Amino acid sequence: AQKVTQAQTEISVVEKEDVTLDCVYETRDTTYYLFWYKQPPSGELVFLIRRNSFDEQNEISGRYSWNFQKSTSSFNFTITASQVVDSAVYFCALSEMFSGGYNKLIFGAGTRLAVHP
């Protein structure tokens, strides 16, 4: 069955520290998409990245980077030189091309990141 596991419930760091948020997924589909979303206290989910199962290249966007490893079914997210504005809950999500049907996102439980000055 499809599943997304974010084992880290809460992480607390001091500004400028690097932090990695872990995401492990389970799916039987060979074609799927993985996402990361950020949820600040306002509640809105903010899209960060979408990656398909055939593209294992790591991606970097400013202070954000993502490491996708199919061999370990992981899609980890690293924030370099964290800032207070990075404080939020981060969700990893899976969308299966065939088993899940249209646009069904399966979310992990989320990781609450607190960045202290």
Residues 17-76 close enough to bind another protein by CB under 8 A: 32-33, 35, 37, 42-47, 50
- Distance, in Å, from the CA atom of 10 to the CA atom of 112, rounded to the nearest integer, reads 5
Tell me which stretch binds another protein (CB under 8 A): 14-22, 57-65, 72-80, 91-99. 91-99
Structure-token pair, residue 37: 């979303």
- Distance, in Å, from the CA atom of 25 to the CA atom of 57, rounded to the nearest integer, reads 17
Task: Give CA separation, 7 vs 10, 20, 55, 57, 108, in Å.
Answer: 9, 12, 24, 24, 9
Applying CB under 8 A, the site for another protein has a residue count of 27
Choose which of 27, 76, 95, 111 interacts with another protein (CB under 8 A).
95
Choose which of 57, 61, 71, 103 interacts with another protein (CB under 8 A).
103
Alpha-helical runs (H) found in 10-49:
none
Between 51 and 82, CB nearer to another protein? 51
Q: Nearest approach, Cβ of 85 to another protein (angstroms)?
A: 18
Between 32 and 66, CB nearer to another protein? 32
Calculate ∠ Cα 93-68-115, nearest 5°: 65
What DSSP character marks residue 81? Answer: S
Which positions touch another protein (CB under 8 A)? Answer: 32-33, 35, 37, 42-47, 50, 91, 93, 95-97, 100-110
